[in-house]
Copies of this chain bind each other. A is one copy, B any other.
Amino acid sequence: MTQSLLDRRRVLGPAYRLFYAEPLHLVRGKGVELFDADGRRYLDAYNNVPVLGHAHPAVVEALARQASLLNTHTRYLHDAVLDYAERLVATFPDPLIRAMFTCSGSEANDLALRIAMTATGGNGVIVTANAYHGVTALLAAMSPSLGLPTAPTVRTVPPPDSYRGQGDVGAAFGRSVAAAVADMRRAGIGVAALLVDTTFASDGLFFDPVDHLDEAVAAVRAAGGLFIADEVQGGFGRSGRMWSFLRHSLVPDLVTLGKPMGNGHPIGGVVTRGDLLDIFGARSRYFNTFGGNTVSAAVGLAVLETIQSEDLPGHAARLGEQLSERLSSLRGHPSVGDIRGTGLYRGIELVTDRETREPATDLAKAVTDDMARNGVLIGVCGGASNVLKIRPPLAFQAAHVEELVEALDKSLSRCAGAQSRER
């Protein structure tokens, strides 16, 4: 069955990739559990899209109810998109008072950059060294993690690396960004934006110290550029706050949203300042056929209401503390170089040697595959693909923390042992 599906994947072409050495054939999900075609259960400690948990009844109900009434677009008046936009912007600090809707985080980042480029008159963008911001042509050329060349108007900077960085991480990040700004100016490129995932997931997950973005954002703003916080991965409560950037004192000029926004339903969005949209709207109309449609709006509203009524950011903060404490028990494994994170977003950086901090890329892959084989799903991230990425649905509970940490403990032992036997 799995082999037949693998063969049939040819119809999608070779750009598609699968997770894990033995790809999973999943057929059902509920809460934080997934089940494959053989009825085998997996604990999902990886998927952030189903933020409320797989097949959440509030989402399915909102989806079915609105789809059976009317699914239409923003060129007619409808309450749902306005109810949703108002409730969404209310979760942001001033001056972030406007929302525009898209179908994906890619479309959101692309739109945010169009707005930033229109408002600043520049087209230069600064991103981090292993950033991933989406699949459009514009974004692929500023997503070095795809392995494609970046555009001539793009500059990359090392992330604020709290593990390998020396001295004041925020100051170093600020200097890198200031140097990128200076380099753009020399090349005659106007600075449009600093675009960063505020959890630096693709770069390996960096969260601290608080306010580590201050100097960088100051340098970009001094050059007339804007700060776009990509909350496509980190948003909607995972960090212990509704938005990851709220851990810091800084307020972005534009915030982009995606993945968890519809618990799997294709929704994305941009939340931004009124003056920026006044400039953008004066230059161009915007119509996204599906963006903000009545069904997507109803689903987005159901997700947001559930996050708020169940205080999932608070839950992520509290359970995240417990997860952090339990993960500390893994520090006995010689391969564990660093454990970091916030809320229910955690990274475990694996190294071959704690002194040299050489990335243990093979081990990270082996551990991830071994965990999956044993029924617990995690991922990897980082420029060297050596950081275990823990990013469960927020329906995660204390018992799941125990199950996850025990599985990690066993896999780390098993895989490190296998690797040393191979040597």
Contact = CB atoms under 8 A, between A and B. Distances in A.
Interface stretch (A101-109, A319-327, A363-371): A101-109
A135 B288 CA distance: 7
Interface in A64-88: 64, 67-79, 81-82, 85-86
A24 interface: yes
Interface in A243-286: 258-259, 263-267, 272, 274, 277-278, 280-286
A138 B137 contact: yes
Question: Which 3 pairs from chain A and chain B are nearest by CB?
Answer: A14-B281, A13-B277, A71-B264
Interface residues of A, number: 101
Given A259-B289, A265-B71, A11 B114 contact: no
8 contacts: A5-B78, A11-B97, A12-B85, A24-B76, A28-B69, A29-B71, A104-B288, A264-B290
Contacts of A15: 100, 277, 280-281, 284-286
Contacts of A291: 104
Max chain B Cβ within 10 angstroms of own Cβ: one of A15, A25, A86? A15
A77 B14 contact: no
Contacts of A19: 75-76
Contact of A103 (B28, B107, B274): B107
A391 interface: no
Interface stretch (A47-55, A155-163, A183-191, A338-346): A47-55
A73 B18 CA distance: 10
Contact of A107 (B136, B148, B285): B136
Contacts of A73: 49
A198 interface: no
Contact of A98 (B11, B64, B72, B138): B11
B23 A76 contact: yes
A35 B14 CA distance: 46
A284 B13 contact: no
Contacts of A101: 12
B18 A289 contact: no
Contacts of A70: 26-29, 34, 54-55
Max chain B Cβ within 10 angstroms of own Cβ: one of A19, A101, A104, A135? A135
Contacts of A263: 71
A40 interface: no
A82 B5 contact: yes
Contact of A9 (B11, B50, B82, B283): B82
A63 interface: yes
Interface string A285-302: 111111111011000000
A219 B181 CA distance: 43
A78 B290 CA distance: 25
Contact of A105 (B117, B266, B289): B289
A18 B77 contact: yes
